[in-house]
Amino acid sequence: MRWLLAVLLLALPARHTHGQVTDTLAVENEVEDLLEGVEDELADPEELADLLASLRDNPLDINTASADDFAAIPLISPLLAQRIVVYRTAQGRFQSIPEVQLVEGLDGDLFVALRPYLRIGDVLAPERQRASLFPQAPPMRQVLRDLRYDLIQRYTRRLTLGRGYDDDTTRTTYLGSPERLYTRFRISSRRYFSFNLTLDKDPGEAYAWNPSQQQFGYDFASAHLMVGNRGRLKTLIVGDYVVTAGQGLTLWRGTGFGKGAATTTPMVRRGRGPTPYGSSDENRFFRGAAASVYVTPALVASAFASRRQLDASFAATRIDSTASELVFSSFNETGLHRTRTEVSRRDALEETLVGGQVEYQGKALTIGTVGYQSRFADRIQPSSQAFQRFGFSGDAASALGVYGQYYFPTALLFGEVSRIRSGATAAVGGAQLDLARTVDLTVLGRSYPRDFAALHSFAFGERNGATQNERGVYVGVRIQPSRDWTIHAYRDQYRFPWARFGTLYPSRGWDALVRVEHRPRRWLLWYAQGRTETREEGRDVEQQGRITESLLEATRQSFRLHGDYQFSRRLRVRARAEWSRYSEMGETSTGVLIYQEARFSPVPALRLDGRLAFFDTEDFDARLYVYEYDLLYTFAVPVFSGRGQRAYVLLRWQPLESLQLEAKYGVTRFEDRETVGSGLDEVEGNVLREARLQLRWRM
């Protein structure tokens, strides 16, 4: 019977080869769902894009990948990842990729979305693999033969420039030119070897050759060399890398997903230890060396060391009887060095970090510990404002955490406890449950004390990644009452036990989302989504002639209708209408957005995307976020406020198997203003235009 099923599954659409431009509808929808939750600056869409890109470039071998490898794909929850491995252990190796659909919970649309991330290794030669307890890398000759070269050159530029680019010697202007230039070169051989070089210059930054400041023409450079999956050696990285561990409470240098339309999966994390870094975010990584080894097949030990220069704001020079020392007030995480002030903060503070991790991966139990110790060359002393009262201060930091997860066939329990140098202890934990085949439930509780000033944490929370001064409970559910209908919902209740930026007092809030999705046909999808968030905000209120700060409730709501129709392989159209409402102190503002877009692919090598959106919001509080297609491996989630239109066209052309060219032109026109933007980016007129070009060559 199983062979029959396997044959039937094989008849399903096969993997898109690189020669085709079209992506599956499902992949982009899933990514969009993940990214539309990213509404704050803490998470970096580019890094998420990079993660997905590297996962797609190196598809997982379904017969050798571990549970944490599977869980690295954002579409696979740790529960499902574990279930795939358990299934494989019990039933034997998969004979074909579609066969993974036999794993409970991995069917239909999810499989289609996952397909580009999976591959199957040499099915006929499993014996060699079985003979060893550790991953067996292929012989060097084959590694060399599998080498792939990948070059991305990106050039993006605003065509309407702000006054920062004027020749004006009387005022501050940008030091460099307005284009953003990004170059990435990578040589890799599956998951066994990779070398990467990323160079990036942001708009307004100047080119400079200053090796002592780690500046080589472009403002930012990152490189790594990685060897991995060779016997006991899991990973060895020299250069730039990130470390992710457990739930991210102790150490998660890298980015993660927050709340969004994917209500049960992204919040449950599963760290992967040290992994190479090749993105363009200038802060979220370590620089040095890292290694992971299998002590036994189930026990992995990692060690890592890093020394890097961080951007920081200089506060004062403190002089006492014996010596003088520099004091910095805060880290600057924008990565921008466009003006003299920004350049003066560049690489101002040195951090030296050493750390280690030990993780046991049993059949049901995974448990691990991770810790690091870090030292700064100079002191950090945040300002005396209330919200920074418990900010990190001093010149040394350390943290130690214990994390674990336990797998039942229908549930996954997970948690992490972490303690930092000052003694503050934080915890996060929860469960992911398959209540029935049609109902998934995720419950997550978190307690991050106000004095948990952890430097390298990035755990789930209301302010995704800000792992301090927050307590909360998250409940998310996904219900599939029938094949065509899916309901996603979550509710998150949280409290900030101390002042936060802009609010003097402890405050609280909650938010919730409900999405009802209907897919009457494989090629037609529509959904209705409502979202509401109520939060206490600090506001100046006049009482008896005196102005005092009080806590007031502010509520932001949105309702969206969205339709997505794949007319044929060549044409897809989508439309959306979304309303927003913001109310505070009895005053309400509203907003609306509608868009219409089409994707047209007359021949497989050519793809054209276009969108026309009209937006109209009464103020910035009623703003709306919209995911937008962009150059391959970049995603954009622009925010719209005011009254105007946005239109873009994106052309992707693949003249050769190895070459892909992309161009995007976007224009935003406002009806309600004579200048757009502020500060150095203020533009005369009501129109913003930008052009983006990308070349990708691989062989």
Partner 1 sequence: MMRRYCLVVLLCLGTHAVAYAQTEESGARAMALGGAVSAMAGTGSTMGNPASFSQAEQRTVSLFTSQAFGLSELRLATFDAILPTGFGHLALGGRTFGFEDYRENRFTAGYSRALSFGTRRAFHVGLTLDYFTLSIPTYGSASAVGIGFGWMTEAIDNVQVGAQARNLNGPSFTDEVGLERSLSVGLAYTASEQVLLLLDAYKEARFPLSVRGGIEFSPLEPIALRTGFTTEPVQYSAGLGVRLAALHADVAGSFHEDLGWSPALALSVLW
Q: Is 693 in the site for partner 1 (CB under 8 A)?
A: no
Residues 508-527 that bind partner 1 (CB under 8 A): 520-521, 524
From 12-20, 97-105, 136-144, 559-567, span contacting partner 1 (CB under 8 A): 559-567
AA identity, residue 511: D
* Cβ 631 vs Cβ 694: under 8 Å: yes
- Of residues 565, 653, 665, 697, which one binds partner 1 by CB under 8 A? 565
> Whole-angstrom Cα distance, residue 625 to residue 290?
38
How many helices (H) does the chain have, and how many strands (E)? 9, 35
**Angstrom distances, CA of residue 455 to CA of 330, 348, 375, 419:** 12, 17, 11, 12
Burial bucket for residue 171 (CB in 10 Å: 0-12, 13-18, 19+): exposed
Contact 672, 644 (CB under 8 A): yes
| Minimum distance from residue 677 beta carbon to partner 1 (Å) | 20
Is there binding between residue 628 and partner 1 (CB under 8 A)? Answer: no
For partner 1, the closer of residues 598 and 683 by Cβ is 598
Beta-carbon contacts of 670 under 8 Å, excluding residues fewer than 6 positions away, are 642, 643, 644, 676, 686, 687
Asked if 275 and 252 count as a contact pair (C-beta separation under 8 A), the reply is no
Q: How far is the CB of 670 from partner 1 (least distance, A)?
A: 10
Shortest Cβ 565–partner 1 spacing (Å): 5
What DSSP string runs through 312-329?
A: EEEEEEEE-SS-EEEEEE
Choosing from 563, 604, 638, 677, the residue that interacts with partner 1 (CB under 8 A) is 563
With binding defined as CB under 8 A, does residue 608 bind partner 1?
Answer: no
Least CB distance from residue 672 to partner 1, whole Å?
8
Q: Per rule CB under 8 A, is residue 612 in the interface with partner 1?
A: yes
Minimum distance, C-beta of residue 681 to partner 1, in the bound complex (Å): 23
The distance of closest approach from Cβ of residue 570 to partner 1 in the complex, given in angstroms and rounded to an integer, is 4
Task: Determine the interface stretch with partner 1 among 241-249, 480-488, 560-568, 655-663 (rule: CB under 8 A).
Answer: 560-568
The residue within the footprint of partner 1, chosen from 155, 294, 559, 614 (CB under 8 A), is: 614
Interaction between residue 632 and partner 1 (CB under 8 A):
no
AA identity, residue 109: D
Q: In Å, what is the CA distance from 560 to each residue of 168, 342, 583, 664? A: 45, 40, 18, 26
Q: Tokens 């996603």 map to which residue?
A: 488
Q: What's the closest the beta carbon of residue 185 comes to partner 1, in angstroms?
A: 38
* 20 forms part of the interface with partner 1 (CB under 8 A): no
- 577 near partner 1, judged by CB under 8 A: yes
Which of 365, 396, 571, 585 contacts partner 1 by CB under 8 A?
571
Task: State how far the Cα of 278 lies from the Cα of 196, in Å rounded to an integer.
Answer: 6
Q: Does 528 bind partner 1 (CB under 8 A)?
A: no
Site string for partner 1, 641-660 (x = CB under 8 A): --xxx---------------
Determine which helix (DSSP H) or strand (DSSP E) holds 50, and give its type and residue range.
Answer: helix 45-57
Tell whether residue 168 is a contact of partner 1 (CB under 8 A). no
Rounded Cα–Cα distance for residues 615 and 592 (Å): 6
Task: Identify the residue among 616, 621, 630, 662 touching partner 1 (CB under 8 A).
Answer: 616
- Between the two ends of the chain, the Cα-to-Cα distance in Å is 41
Residue 522 CB, nearest approach to partner 1 (Å): 12
Task: Tell me, by CB under 8 A, how many residues bind partner 1.
Answer: 27
Reduce the DSSP state of residue 118 to 3 states and report it: strand
Question: Is residue 295 a contact residue for partner 1 (CB under 8 A)?
Answer: no
What stretches of 268-388 show up as alpha helix (H) in DSSP? 340-344
Task: From 590, 513, 587, 529, select the one nearest 554 (Cα to Cα).
Answer: 587
Tokens of 169: 């010697």
Helix boundaries (H) for 92-201:
108-114, 126-131, 140-145
Which stretch, 18-26, 180-188, 258-266, 610-618, contacts partner 1 (CB under 8 A)? 610-618
E strand map for 381-484: 394-408, 411-420, 425-436, 439-448, 470-479
Q: Which is nearer to partner 1, 165 or 565 (CB)?
A: 565
Six-digit token string for 434: 């398959």
> Which residue among 352, 534, 596, 658 contacts partner 1 (CB under 8 A)?
596
Cα atoms in the Cβ-side hemisphere of radius 13 Å centred on 47:
20
Supply 348's token pair.
Answer: 């101002």
CB of residue 32 to partner 1, shortest distance in Å? 19
Residue 199 C-beta: closest distance to partner 1, Å: 38
Nearer to partner 1 by Cβ, of 315 and 612: the residue is 612
C-beta separation of 353 from 307 below 8 A = yes
Cβ proximity to partner 1, 32 vs 616, nearer residue:
616
**Minimum distance of partner 1 from residue 588's CB (angstroms):** 15
Binding of residue 393 to partner 1 (CB under 8 A): no
**R_g of the chain computed on alpha carbons:** 25
Q: Which is nearer to partner 1, 367 or 594 (CB)?
A: 594
Taking the complex as a whole, the smallest distance from the CB of residue 645 to partner 1 amounts, in Å, to: 6
In this structure, what token pair is assigned to residue 109? 């649309």
Residue choice 11, 568, 586, 587 for contact with partner 1 (CB under 8 A):
568
Which range of residues in 177-185, 308-316, 443-451, 587-595 is near partner 1 by CB under 8 A?
Answer: 587-595
What distance in Å separates the CA atoms of residue 435 and residue 409, rounded to the nearest whole number? 11
Of 543 and 568, nearer to partner 1 (C-beta) is: 568
Tokens of 500: 């936060």
**Which one among 318, 483, 569, 673 touches partner 1, defined by CB under 8 A?**
569
CB of 566 to partner 1, least distance (A): 10
* Choice between 358 and 575, CB closer to partner 1: 575
**Nearer to partner 1 (CB atom), residue 461 or residue 591:** 591
For residues 182 and 199, give the distance between their C-alpha atoms in angstroms, rounded to a whole number.
6
Sites of contact with partner 1 (CB under 8 A) = 520-521, 524, 563, 565, 567-571, 573, 575, 577, 592, 594-596, 598, 612-614, 616, 643-645, 669, 671
